[in-house]
């Protein structure tokens, strides 16, 4: 049996969550991103919009999630020598938490970067031996005055 949790009796309260994930890449792919040499455009700008849009659609993607009126979604990227990091921070004043929205946002943002740089990650057989998404997790969740 399955059911959506009844939050009807809960009071709206300030809520936030930050999710983080890592995209392991070839060093050459990272150089191309940093130098602006990606044929599809700036992966971070496109992925930022994709992550924001995805967070807003979480309720359409995960069947038992509530449709939460999000007040803020921020997507940020960091560059390291062999990977990029992505964080998605979501805020709302509502009856239930926003961690799923943050997780969906970071996941889609990382997948968007993958899509934009995949041409540089393929080997001679068209496979992706090095690129991978790792460690998608909620790193912070708050409610009320916490």
**Domains in the chain: boundaries:** 13-143
In this prediction, residue 146 carries a pLDDT of 67
> pTM value?
0.94
The domain 13-143 having CATH identifier 3.40.50.40: the answer here is no
Average pLDDT, consecutive stretches of 10 residues, N- to C-terminus, the chain (146 residues): 92 97 97 96 98 98 96 98 97 97 99 96 93 97 85
- Residues designated catalytic: 115
Are 104 and 62 a contacting pair, CB within 8 Å? Answer: yes
Of 84, 74, 80, the closest CA to residue 117 belongs to 84
Are 92 and 69 a contacting pair, CB within 8 Å? Answer: yes
Distance CA 43, CA 22 (A): 15
In this prediction, residue 20 carries a pLDDT of 99
In this prediction, residue 116 carries a pLDDT of 97
Q: What is the CA radius of gyration of the chain?
A: 17
Whole-angstrom CA distances from 76 to 19, 22, 98 are 11, 12, 17
In this prediction, residue 144 carries a pLDDT of 87
Long-range contacts: 28-33, Cβ < 8 Å, 24+? 28/120, 29/117, 29/120, 29/121, 29/131, 30/79, 30/80, 30/81, 30/82, 30/83, 30/84, 32/117, 32/120, 33/79, 33/84, 33/113, 33/117
């Amino acid at each position: 049996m399955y059911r959506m949790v009844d939050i009807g009796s809960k009071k709206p309260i300030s809520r936030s969550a930050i999710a983080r994930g890592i995209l392991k890449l070839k060093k050459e792919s990272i150089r191309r991103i940093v130098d602006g040499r990606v044929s599809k455009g700036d992966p971070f700008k496109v992925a930022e919009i994709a992550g924001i849009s995805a967070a807003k659609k979480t309720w359409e993607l995960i069947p038992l999630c509530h449709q939460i009126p999000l007040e803020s979604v921020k997507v940020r990227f960091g560059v390291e020598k062999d990977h990029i990091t992505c964080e998605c921070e979501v805020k709302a004043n509502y009856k239930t938490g926003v961690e799923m929205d943050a997780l969906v946002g970071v996941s889609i943002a990382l997948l968007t970067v993958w899509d934009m740089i995949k041409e540089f990650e393929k080997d001679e057989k068209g496979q992706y031996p090095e690129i991978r998404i790792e460690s998608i997790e909620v790193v912070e969740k708050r409610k009320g005055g916490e």
